[in-house]
């Protein structure tokens, strides 16, 4: 898969998140997959997307309230 194709897919993911914030968990999974694909190809990771991935990870992995 080309880098341009990956960029387009990531843009689509972010557009969906903007218009459908209730699907943030799906965004997290899709973003994780796309970044993994970039890593596998040895391509540089956009730091803003790495930061977004970390924020989403923190949001969804918070301990449950008693």
pTM exceeding 0.85: no
Q: Give pLDDT, residue 65.
A: 44
CA 46 vs CA 16, 35, 59, 60, 63: distances in Å: 19, 9, 20, 21, 28
Q: Is the pLDDT of residue 10 over 80?
A: no
pLDDT in tens, 22-65: 777 777 888 888 889 888 989 888 888 888 888 878 877 755 54
Residue 63 confidence (pLDDT) = 57
Q: What letter would DSSP give residue 41?
A: T
Domains in the chain: boundaries: 3-60
The reported pLDDT for the residue numbered 29 is: 84
Q: When comparing pLDDT for 41 and 66, which is higher?
A: 41
Q: How far is residue 66's CA from residue 51's CA, in Å, rounded to a whole number? A: 29
Alpha-carbon span 45 to 65, nearest angstrom: 34
């Amino acid at each position: 898969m080309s880098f341009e194709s990956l960029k387009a897919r990531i843009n689509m993911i972010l557009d969906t998140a903007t218009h459908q914030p209730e699907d943030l968990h799906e965004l997290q999974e899709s973003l994780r997959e796309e970044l993994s694909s970039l890593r596998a190809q040895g391509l540089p990771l956009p730091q803003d997307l790495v930061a977004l991935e970390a924020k989403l990870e923190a949001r969804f992995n918070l301990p449950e309230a008693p």
